Structure 1
Amino acid sequence: MSKQSQFIIGGIIAVVVVGGGFLIVKNNASYEKKTTTTNKATQTITLGSTGASFPSSYKSGDKLVGFDVEVAQKAAKLAGYRVKWVNADFDGLWGQLDTNRVQGIANAVSFTPERQAKYQFTDAYYNDEAKVAVPTSSKAKKLSDLDNQKVAGVAGSNNITALQSVNKSIVVAPFENRDSATQAVLSEKVAGVVNSGPILSATIKKNHLKLRLLPDTIQKTKVGIVFKKDDAGKKYAKSFNKAFVELAKQGEIEKLSKQYFGYDVSNHDLEK
């Protein structure tokens, strides 16, 4: 082989090696970029829910499901988070948030002036209204028919406060969770149960309960996810708000609403 041929072949090998090296570096850079993106998409946020509040947050086997759970998970994914769930009774969730054991609460949390003064809410993703359900055998036709009688409610719920503000004659009996409050009225230990109208309606339909809703609306509220009112909480709320808009425009929140409640309670203002 001539020296000229050896030089040409050597040059080709050098180009291939250098070129291969360039490709490797380029591929490594691409891999690093992809890995960084993946890590960002799997940051963990810890959210609290009861895990015992159909259809908002409840267990199906070992899996946590529900309207608020699915909305929160879909929004979190769009915002670049993976959700870790912590379950506690509703009243206890606020203590979990105050002591940083959870970063937020996603469990049909209604806006109230008191809560908004202390905590950072996202924009509302659905509209709610409080109602009272009574046994189908009850003679009560309106709220005032329950004067001087006991009505069950979930401890820490704003529905209890709202009921007391519109009818001070009703005696409120607080219970740990929705199931125990509902069982109290079914066993006739109390005359009725106050809760979210859409939630009561869905629960009655799913479990074929012998309950009916009174026509009175106790209050109309909006529901969002709540965080601490600090820099981190404001950052979480901002990222979730952006995700809610995208989910609303995709029709995902309305779809989940119809799946869990039987009708649309989603906040369509998000689409504007």
Structure 2
Amino acid sequence: MKKKLGYLFLTGLMALSLAACGKGSQDAGGQDLLQQIQDKGTLTVAMEGTWAPWTYHDEDDNLVGFDVEVARKIAEKLGVEVNFVEGEWDGLFAGLDSGRYDMVVNGVEITDERAEKYDFSEPYGYIRTALIVAEGNEEIKTFEDLNGKTTTNSMASTYMTLAESYGATVTPVDSLDQTLDLVIAGRVDATLNAEVSFYDYMKVHPDAAVKVVALTDDASHVSIPMRKGEEAASFREAVDQAIRELKESGELGEISVKYFGTDITRE
């Protein structure tokens, strides 16, 4: 009888220990994201690194661009260092979903579909989409003319979705330079991209045989996607506060003028 009671006692202790361990794991998993980032001392930011002037490599192979500096300023406001991780467009969001990245800073435009899956910071940029064709192309003058035509853009990007909505067949590529090379070579009919990105490209390639034939009427809101969830609430609030302070101080506008030649941070 004593042996049986002793066995039951030990079994009960083990069950309590396992329950405590399980609770500890749950507590760790649900820890406040901002606190985790500040404890680590590092903000992990995902971006492509191939889309000038947002995020790209200079002649010395340094990662530079508007979004690079914005992310650094936000990390500074949070009191941490920034760790940049580069990848392809769709991989950025897969990494955000899995928790490998804390945020994606890559000129991301807010869409209804994305807003269902992610929480967004307040906008830090406002841009219009340009319809770009080869210099000698006289067939495409409006977005409606894309029906039955071919375009090229990053996989799963806003521009790819917009082109497909007008009936275009889209060839996926990794960078703006590749996109415009295909248009100039006549391998695709057109491409859609941020107006400011196109004009930045033309500053570097002034003789490129491409032109803008149409622009969207309304400006898209550029924002920072983050994971949804109560544990991320204080992190989102801190990022919003950082963006507001950067706007109010004029720093955000200065960074924009540096890379775009104009202030895209005001609607």
Using structure 2 for the length normalisation, give the TM-score: 0.79
- The alpha-carbon distance between structure 1 residues 62 and 194, as it changes in their structure 2 partners (threshold 3 A), is same
Distance 2:48 2:153 in 1: 15
Distance 1:205 1:144 in 2: 28
Q: Secondary structure at the match of 1:47?
A: strand
The one-letter amino acid of 2:162's match is A
The one-letter amino acid of 2:201's match is T
The equivalent of 1:189 in structure 2 is: 187
Written as runs of structure 1 = structure 2, the 5 A alignment for 1:151-190 is 151-165=151-165, 167-168=166-167, 170-190=168-188
The one-letter amino acid of 2:149's match is Q
- The alpha-carbon distance between structure 1 residues 180 and 144, as it changes in their structure 2 partners (threshold 3 A), is same
Give a deviation string over 1:180-237, Cα, whole Å, max 9, x none.
2222112211111111121122222222222211123176310111111123433222
The equivalent of 2:214 in structure 1 is: 215
Give a deviation string over 1:230-254, Cα, whole Å, max 9, x none.
2343322211111111111111111
Distance 1:207 1:188 in 2: 17
Distance 2:152 2:130 in 1: 12
Q: Is the 8 A contact 2:38 2:78 kept in 1?
A: no
Report whether the alignment pairs 1:104 with 2:103. yes
Distance 1:126 1:245 in 2: 12
Shift of 1:163: 2.7
- The alpha-carbon distance between structure 1 residues 40 and 117, as it changes in their structure 2 partners (threshold 3 A), is closer
The equivalent of 1:22 in structure 2 is: none
The one-letter amino acid of 2:151's match is V
Report whether the alignment pairs 1:117 with 2:116. yes
Give a deviation string over 1:153-186, Cα, whole Å, max 9, x none.
1111012212332x22x22222233332222112
Distance 2:80 2:209 in 1: 41
Give a deviation string over 1:112-137, Cα, whole Å, max 9, x none.
11111111211000102212111122
- The alpha-carbon distance between structure 1 residues 218 and 177, as it changes in their structure 2 partners (threshold 3 A), is farther
Q: Secondary structure at the match of 1:52?
A: coil
Percent identity of equivalent pairs: 28
Q: Is the 8 A contact 2:50 2:174 kept in 1?
A: no
- The alpha-carbon distance between structure 1 residues 42 and 267, as it changes in their structure 2 partners (threshold 3 A), is farther
Shift of 1:42: 7.9
Distance 1:255 1:244 in 2: 13
Distance 1:204 1:179 in 2: 11
- The alpha-carbon distance between structure 1 residues 206 and 232, as it changes in their structure 2 partners (threshold 3 A), is farther
Report whether the alignment pairs 1:65 with 2:64. yes
Shift of 1:41: 9.7
Distance 1:219 1:177 in 2: 24
The one-letter amino acid of 1:160's match is M
Higher gyration radius (CA):
1
The one-letter amino acid of 1:51's match is G
The alignment's C-alpha RMSD in Å is: 2.1
Q: Tell me, which stretches of 5 or more residues in structure 2 are unaligned?
A: 1-36
Runs of 4+ in 1 over 4 A off after TM superposition: 39-42
The equivalent of 2:78 in structure 1 is: 79
Q: Secondary structure at the match of 1:123?
A: coil
Report whether the alignment pairs 1:228 with 2:227. yes
Distance 1:210 1:67 in 2: 26
Q: Is the 8 A contact 1:46 1:85 kept in 2?
A: yes
Distance 1:91 1:177 in 2: 13
Q: Secondary structure at the match of 1:162?
A: helix
The one-letter amino acid of 2:195's match is G
